[in-house]
Chain A
Amino acid sequence: MKRIIRTTLTATAAVTLLAACGGAGGAEEGGDFSPRGDVTMLVPFAAGGGSDLAGRATAGALEAANGDLNVNVENKDGGSGAVGYAQFLGESGNGQYLLATETALLALPLGGTVDWTYEDFTPIMKIADDFTLMVAPQDAPYETCTDVVDAAKSERIVAGISGATGLDNVVFTLTEQQTGVEFDRVSFESGGELTAALLGDQIDIASLNPGEVIGQLESGDIKALCAYADERYEYDELKDIPTASEQGIDVSFAQFRGVLAPGGIDDAAKDYWVEQMEAAIETDEYTTYVEDNFLQPNTAAGDEFAAYLEDNNTKLQEVLDK
């Protein structure tokens, strides 16, 4: 009974849509694909967070690029993203579903809490990189990341991190591997908590995304020591911050943001979404999102994104297996 209703509904929706679009997108025949009715952008984190911002911006950019698309954002949080990804796994083969992804895609399987890997999904597009800055309270006795490393040789340096699989823990571990020093770790749950801990002098250093600390950087309560990025930022607010490699620490690691489709969709659907996303990153909506959040617009489409994930996964594994 249920199935009959669903089929009827889908059929009705398809007919309505076909009538409405006048065949703009074409039907399923001939390997072509276009979504029927609304598309869902699943965000595996709560509304108001970084992933949610990314998901809504992507949905907005997709709609701006293609007036026929209607993308609804759905938040499904829990288990550091695991619940949302699990639901997405269940949508295998469904070309109407997208997911706003980020480093949790790799960190969750490496953490051993889930039984899927990034290969179970279809990478569509990496939309941006978010690098981190090593930051310290304004009155801290260090001015550069090298100062911190030198200090760590003779005294205890307490680094605040946001969990074992967090990007901040990754860059600190890479720094340790490079320089042979060691930082002590204290785990917090969010960028906000880390900022509070820095302001209250509870910890010596933290590694935060520019978007998370820009307010404190501008007010001068927190200072940036170096950027764990390949090149200096071009943003006016950040362009004076030297990179870690300028200071002799060759570490650069970004949190990526991107879009996934479920696994098991056909090539036509995949090509369709890659094409849509390629148009989406040309829109003003996309640019505003990237600039507001101090991201780097490093994009990678389809198979390139898949290659990036593979490479990133290997690096991450090396760090976490240490």
Chain B
Amino acid sequence: MLDNLMLGFQTALTPENLFWCFVGVFVGTVIGVLPGLGSTTGVAVLLPLTLAFEPVTALIMLAGIYYGSQYGGTITSVLISTPGEAASVVTTLDGYQMARRGRAGAALSIAAIGSFVAAIISLLLLILLAPPFAEFALRFGPPEMMAVMVLGLATIISFAGDNRVLGLLMALVGLLIACVGVDTGTGVARYTFDSIYLLSGIPFVEVMIGLFAVGEVLNQIHEGAARPIRAGFRELMITKADIMRSRGAILRGSFLGFAFGVLPGAGSTLASFMAYGIEKNVSKSKDEFGRGAIEGVAAPESANNAAANANFVPTLTLGIPGGATTAVLLGAFLMNGIRPGPLLFDEQPDLVWGLIASFFIGNVILLALNLPLAPVFAQILRVPYGYMYPLILLTSFVGAYSITNSMFSVWVVLVFGIIGYGMKRLDFPMAPLVLGLVLGPLFEKALVQTSALGDGSLAILLDRPIALTVLVLALLQVVAPTIFSRLLRDRRAAAAQESDLTPRR
């Protein structure tokens, strides 16, 4: 094990590989900052460029782009409420609120620290436990995945804010939007109105850019230009108290993210939503969530980074992609003449361990790059909004166009921008809608598969211990808060009664 890792570091630390690792991480961060360009697009777009490299160098650079862009997406989520990809949607909830309060620097710093800690934890788990984890993940067939999706949908309760019914309705709207497109099982086109662009459904990255970035700009314009945030350099720095407060959130987020990342297909988005939901439930200061709680940034950022690394567990041990980006990376393996599969570790030890060692190095570079830069990035908010709005709109539309090279994406952004503006005016929660939209297709697929496996009946769920356990957890998640608060109220009432009685004695 240690020999292998040493071998890996020998490979990863050659000047050439080190240089391209740095380039990958840096370019990745830039790509992540651009709205619309997430890790999947970034890796896909730059893949052809790396064909001239040695295979290991190419993969090191592409992997650098992958986790670099995860962090880049955080920067825009915090500063201008524009998530680069679905996994950083949750970060906008508290990250942007922190920025509006002049604490953008702290938000960015905790995201960098959380991501780093999560990366190290998940890499250690990857090195030590990848094969058993991969084995376990294989036991998650369609029924288990369906249960996981139900669990994911149940987290909506945590995001619904004060009005749960409204939150659930928004989630349903998200699920409905997710129904558009060709159904994978039978190939029937639903709600496509003969448009070829709708065949693959309404793309959620564009929806997110519209709802969050454009919607926010329109809303700001309506409210009258907000003042630029003039925070002193000192206020932009992260404090020791911030870190102490986020400790638990980062650790919980890391392990949760790893667990979800190992499951093929479930991925980082679900992990980040779940991590946020858990923090909100365990936190002592629940009220602060949604108004700039630093745990609300630390947890999802740690979770999505851990999940991104955990995606490599099935990818490297089985040759099965753990998520959309690792699927593209697997393509990169093939293009470099490397056949991924269970024998990869034995056949190409220097490549696999070199890649894993480069993850460590890449994450150190990311931390070294981003921690000092966090307050600097935060200075962007000093720019008067008169200049910021056009810039945000421009990058949103250009970013959207670049996803599929077509105007269709731009129209989606525009339409959802207006919808997002409407939702902001009416104070409708947006996170449940995004969660519904992301989980919708996954849930449907698992549901259809489960029903096919069970010969038309969902009773198969009852024969599967893992599925059943997860479903019970989902149920608990929905009812537990109500039961707890009722218990608490009863106890308080009882206490109050007692104290009422005391003076009379």
Contact = CB atoms under 8 A, between A and B. Distances in A.
Given A48-B327, A215-B319, A216-B342, A80 B182 contact: yes
Given A48-B328, A73-B48, A196 B200 contact: no
A113 B265 contact: no
B404 A83 contact: yes
A169 B140 CA distance: 24
B328 A163 contact: no
Given A76-B405, A187-B449, A47 B47 contact: yes
Given A163-B185, A192-B264, A202-B453, A113 B199 contact: yes
A185 interface: yes
Contact of A187 (B139, B319, B406, B448): B448
A271 interface: no
B314 interface: yes
A157 interface: no
A189 B321 CA distance: 12
B337 interface: yes
Given A47-B328, A83-B200, A77 B189 contact: no
A113 B339 contact: no
Contact of A80 (B44, B142, B192, B200): B200
Given A48-B47, A156-B455, A158-B453, A215 B199 contact: no
B144 to A, nearest CB: 9
B43 to A, nearest CB: 8
Contacts of A82: 196, 199-200
Contact of A215 (B142, B265, B340): B340
A78 B182 contact: no
Nearest to A158: B453
B199 to A, nearest CB: 3
B185 A215 contact: no
Nearest to A111: B187
B187 A56 contact: no
A49 interface: yes
Interface residues of B, number: 54
Contacts of B200: 77-80, 82-83
Interface in B116-160: 138-142
Contacts of B186: 164, 187
A47 B343 CA distance: 25
B318 interface: yes
A157 to B, nearest CB: 12
Contacts of B181: 79
B259 to A, nearest CB: 17
A52 interface: yes
Contacts of B140: 200
Contact of B318 (A53, A56, A188, A196): A196
Contacts of B48: 47, 56, 73
Contacts, number: 146
B331 interface: yes
Question: Which residue, of B199, B200, B337, has the highest number of chain A Cβ atoms within 10 A?
Answer: B199
A187 B405 contact: no
B326 to A, nearest CB: 10
A190 B322 CA distance: 12
A114 interface: yes
A86 B196 contact: yes
Nearest to B44: A47
A192 B339 contact: no
Nearest to A74: B405
A121 B174 CA distance: 38
Interface in A10-54: 46-49, 52-53
Interface in B233-291: 264-265
B453 A292 contact: no
A300 to B, nearest CB: 25
Contacts of A221: 342
A138 B337 CA distance: 26
Interface in B441-488: 445, 448-449, 452-453, 455
Contact of B321 (A114, A192, A218): A192
Contacts of B51: 56
Nearest to B456: A184
Interface string B320-354: 11000001111110110101111110000000000
A319 interface: no
Contacts of B327: 48, 190, 192
Nearest to B314: A196
Interface string A63-98: 000000000011111111011001000000000000
B197 interface: yes
A199 interface: yes
B45 interface: yes
B184 interface: yes
Contacts of A164: 185-187
Given A48-B330, A82-B196, A187 B184 contact: yes
Contact of A214 (B321, B335, B339): B339
A293 B337 CA distance: 10
Question: Which residue, of B140, B181, B196, B448, has the highest number of chain A Cβ atoms within 10 A?
Answer: B196
A175 interface: no
A78 B404 contact: yes
Contacts of A79: 181-182, 196-197, 199-200
A165 interface: yes
A219 interface: yes
Contacts of A144: none
A193 interface: yes
A196 B404 contact: no
Contacts of B192: 113
Given A111-B187, A113-B189, A80 B341 contact: no
B445 A75 contact: no
Given A76-B405, A202-B141, A202-B453, A195 B318 contact: yes
A76 B184 CA distance: 19
B339 to A, nearest CB: 6
Interface in A164-179: 164-165
A117 B339 CA distance: 35
A113 B139 CA distance: 35
Interface string B190-222: 001010110110000000000000000000000
B187 A165 contact: yes
Contacts of B448: 187
Contacts of B265: 193
Question: Which residue, of A111, A200, A292, has the highest number of chain B Cβ atoms within 10 A?
Answer: A200
Interface string B41-53: 0001101100100
Contacts of B342: 215-216, 219, 221
A80 B200 CA distance: 7
Given A47-B45, A186-B449, A200-B140, A215 B337 contact: no
Given A56-B48, A200-B139, 17 more contacts: A47-B328, A48-B328, A48-B334, A77-B404, A80-B200, A83-B196, A83-B200, A83-B404, A86-B196, A113-B182, A113-B192, A165-B187, A186-B452, A187-B449, A199-B320, A216-B318, A218-B343
14 contacts: A48-B327, A83-B404, A112-B189, A113-B187, A113-B199, A163-B185, A184-B455, A187-B185, A187-B452, A192-B264, A193-B265, A196-B264, A202-B141, A216-B319
Interface of A: 46-49, 52-53, 56, 73-80, 82-83, 86, 111-115, 156, 158, 163-165, 184-190, 192-193, 195-197, 199-200, 202-203, 214-216, 218-219, 221, 292-293
